[in-house]
Amino acid sequence: MASRGPDSLKWKVELHNHLDGSIRAETIIELARNKGAELPFDNVRQLKELVSCENVDVKDRSLRRFLEPFPVFLSVVRGDAAALRRCAIEFCEDQANEGVLYTEVRYAPQLLSSEASNTIQNTDQLTDEGALQVILEGLAEGSRRYGITVRSLLCCIRPFPELSAKTAELCKKFHGKGVVGIDLAGDEGNYPIKPDDEFVKAFQEVKKFGIHRTAHAGEAGPAESIRQSLDWLSAERIGHGYHLVEDEKLFNRVKNEKIHLELCPTSSLLTGSCHSFTGHPAKRFIDQGLNFSLNCDCSLSCNVGVADEYDLVYNDWGYDIPILTRAAFNAARSCFLPEEEKKQLIADLERIHGLRC
């Protein structure tokens, strides 16, 4: 197949995108003004400067620094049913514009409810479950409106292990109703997991019900964090995983077991996980045939969409269209849809691209 640039890859599959990190900057500004919120930004430019790590010295970048602004800008949507629904619908529109056929979007309902800290006063009084329902309704409406499919992954958050049991409960209650899996997110470097953690109990609980599992690991933490996620959390996919290159035995295990790696190249630099694209671990993953996909992580915080990540790998890293196509099909095969829906997604990709992978 001739290399014609990423535009020839018409439709993609994205597995690693955070709803709370992908809210439109314009929406946040509008909501803040409507609510009279006193926040450290007055316009889109100032907001993007607040959330971006692009101007932070490379040696000072970290996952903790990357996550610091989230409570500030999320304060205008937490506990607000209309705002959350709007954000979900707009997310679908943005994904359609990025050429994404299927997306798994992740978030922690507890951190978007009225009960979350740093919430601007509103009258909705949304519970964790209420916030989840509103988001699922918005994603369903947006999917219908823009002709794509979006499913949800519910996040356990490392600094808040006490929320894990409720996350598992919500996963079970809404499994098959828009929710397809569970995730572990948050500051990996400062909150490593232990065998008796509430996260581990939550993951093992949902596993009993056939609910799929992914985990952020090997991003701000060492390769051992990946091993722990596979062994203790029974993770089927790994978010990021760049530090896998530190452990050759584990590298071979991930390769041989075809464990999927959700790669987010741009964010890997902004979080300090990697310091340069020169010798980037993702290049080794690609070159050695690991099961990988390309994802944007957070379109607001990273100031990119998934199409930009495909452009990066093609234009800057020098990989050809078959590699980009492989990324899309890897994602489709590794997604958490029920088997029949997954087969249909793969068939749709084959039809759209006029090939069989």
Is 270:247 a contact under the CB 8 Å cutoff? no
Contacts 24+ apart (CB under 8 A), 303-311: 303/48, 303/52, 303/54, 304/266, 305/94, 305/97, 305/98, 306/12, 306/14, 306/17, 306/98, 306/100, 307/6, 307/12, 307/98, 307/99, 308/266, 309/264, 309/265, 309/266, 310/6, 310/9, 310/12, 311/6
Is 6:319 a contact under the CB 8 Å cutoff? no
Residue whose structure tokens are 């922690």 = 108
- Active-site option among 219, 236, 262, 309: 219
> What are the tokens at 10?
């018409």
> What are the tokens at 275?
């310091």
Q: At what angle do helices 81-97 and 25-34 cross, to 10 degrees?
A: 160
Say whether 38 is catalytic: no
Q: Outline where DSSP puts E strands in the chain.
A: 12-18, 100-107, 149-157, 179-185, 212-217, 237-240, 260-263, 292-294
d(CA 303, CA 309): 11
Which residues, including other chains, have CB under 8 Å from residue 334's CB and lie 6 or more apart?
15, 236, 237, 260, 291, 293
Is 178:336 a contact under the CB 8 Å cutoff? no
Helix boundaries (H) for 183-243: 198-207, 223-231
d(CA 343, CA 337): 9
Which residues, including other chains, have CB under 8 Å from residue 52's CB and lie 6 or more apart?
270, 301, 303
Residues designated catalytic: 219
